[in-house]
Amino acid sequence: MAKPMPALEAIRGFHDELTAIRRDLHANPELGLEEHRTAEIVAAKLAEWGIEVHRGIGKTGVVGVLRRGSGGKSIGLRADMDCLPMEEQTNLPYRSAKPGLMHACGHDGHTTMLLGAARYLAASPAFQGTVHFIFQPGEEGAGGALAMLQDGLFERFPCDQVFALHNRPGQPVGTFAIGKGPQSAGGAFFDITITGRGAHGARPELSVDPVLVAGHIITALQSIVARNVSPADTAVLSVTRVVAGDAYNVIPESAKMSGTARAFKAATMQMLEDGIRRIAKGVAEGFRAEAEVDFRVIFAPLINAEAETDVLAEAAAAVVGEANVDRAKPPSMGSEDFSFMMEKVPGAYIQVGNGESAGLHNPAYNFNDDATPYGAALLATVVERQLKA
């Protein structure tokens, strides 16, 4: 491995402080657009390090502004802050203290990495320009990126480039992975409400059974990807929840299905939506029921800009050596709402090794604190290389 850059060495010097922050955030998770405590901790730390603080951007978002000199370029560095509505299943001493809430995606680690970069850069004379530290709420489907954009994020804090990262379980600590072009799929959520006619379970002939209708719709929906999407394209459609009825012996009046659709192209996403609406309505009518579809796009496809991908990969290589940077990471069907920011400003998004751990969105997941200095050093190094003094 190449000799560490000064940022990595310096950040390792206050790694213990960052670990304490991260574990406190982990023990006190907050859902999207409700990150009041997290935002206050972020704001207090930024202010402590002499960084200008702006609160309440997109409800609970925080932006720190650090200027060196009177002009030059401006770089945006973004981290997400929210948790997931999950029950943690670990025996960690800093496990979630809030029933039903858990940092199961490592956003506590991402926030800490960006704080580490902010502390380092606040004392660094090695750049000239402006850094905007963007702490985003509500990444997990709550619309946090759009909320910040609608609140004038880039009008108030103009950026020439934006960068972000995400931890990756199974990838060794001290390594990075990135690719050009599409990296994360656009994502939509959908609900299908089926209305039939309820009846006693012993008299099914008097019913229009919405549970039966739901089963047929689920099966038929699988034909959308299997028989409508080109083998050269990529799409996913998953029904992830079905809710109906309250009793063993009652055929309910209605049933509700929910799920997600994902694609790398807007046209493919539109085809998925059209197919869901057509099949749900047609199948329901065939059973004398009605189906109402609510389809909403939550994430745009995340597209890494070519130049910014090179910038981020070169910074990663400067931190850990070229041998520890995978520049050909394949796309993922997961979604990431940093994509909305990248639609406005050229940017790139990189994966940081989290070592051997449970997967993301798993109740046994835990962010690896050993990864913190690497992510923080990468973000700091991007600034020092792009805004050279």
CATH number at residue 105: 3.40.630.10
Q: How far apart, in whole angstroms, are the C-alpha atoms of residue 242 and residue 16?
A: 45
Q: Which residues contact 8 (CB under 8 A, 6 or more apart)?
A: 319, 373, 374, 377
Residues 285 and 326 both lie in one domain: no
| CA 6 – CA 9 distance, rounded (Å) | 5
Indicate whether 104 belongs to any domain: yes
**Nearest CA to 194 among 241, 257, 239, 247?**
257
Q: How far apart are CA 152 and CA 131, in angstroms?
A: 17
Give φ, ψ of 293 to 5 degrees.
-110, 130
- To the nearest 10 degrees (0 to 180), the angle between helices 372-386 and 107-122 is 50
- How far apart, in whole angstroms, are the C-alpha atoms of residue 225 and residue 221? 8
- The answer on 126 and 10 residing in a single domain is yes
Based on the fold, state whether residues 309 and 201 are members of the same structural domain: no
Closest CA to 161 of 388, 383, 325: 383
Same domain flag for 35 and 154: yes
Q: What is the dihedral of CA 100, 106, 111, 117, to 10 degrees?
A: 160
CA dist., res. 269 & res. 275, Å (int): 10
Q: Give the distance from CA 118 to its chain's centroid.
A: 21
User: In the prediction, which pLDDT does 72 show?
Assistant: 84
Q: Helix, strand or coil for residue 128?
A: coil
Q: What is the pLDDT of residues 305-338, one digit of tens each?
A: 999 999 999 999 999 999 999 999 999 998 999 9
Place of tokens 């910074």: 315
Residue 272 neighbours by CB distance under 10 Å: 25
pLDDT the model gives residue 5: 53
Burial of 67 (0-12, 13-18, 19+ CB in 10 A): middle
Q: Are residues 154 and 63 in the same domain?
A: yes
**Rounded Cα–Cα distance for residues 361 and 174 (Å):** 22
* 381 shares a domain with 250: no
Report CA torsion sign: 224, 226, 232, 238.
positive
Low-confidence ranges of the chain (pLDDT < 50): 1-4
Of the candidates 361, 277, 353, the residue with the CA atom closest to the CA atom of residue 88? 361
Is residue 218 located within the same domain as residue 133? no
Pick the last residue of a domain from 299, 329, 347. Answer: 299
Of 276, 299, 322, the residue at which a domain comes to its end is 299
Give the per-residue pLDDT at 1: 40
- What pLDDT score does 131 carry? 98
Alpha-carbon gap, residue 298 to 146, rounded angstroms = 10
Residue-level pLDDT at 3: 47
Domain count, the chain: 2
Q: Answer yes or no: is 1 within a domain.
A: no
How many residues are given for the chain?
A: 389
* Residue 295 and residue 318 in one domain: no
136 contacts 80 by C-beta, under 8 angstroms: yes
Find where tokens 């998004």 sit.
Answer: 349
Are 305 and 177 within one domain? yes
Determine the 3-state secondary structure of 102 from DSSP: strand
Are 289 and 314 found together in one domain? no
Domain holding 311, by residue range, is 6-182+301-386
How would you write 50-93 as a 3-class SS string? CCEEEEEECCCEEEEEEEECCCCCEEEEEEECCCECCCCCCCCC
In a domain, 353, yes or no: yes
Quote the pLDDT of residue 6. 86
Among 299, 334, 362, where does a domain finish?
299
User: Do 122 and 150 lie in a common domain?
Assistant: yes
Q: Are residues 137 and 11 in the same domain?
A: yes
Q: What is the CATH number of the domain that holds 197?
A: 3.30.70.360
Element (H, E) at 348: strand 347-353
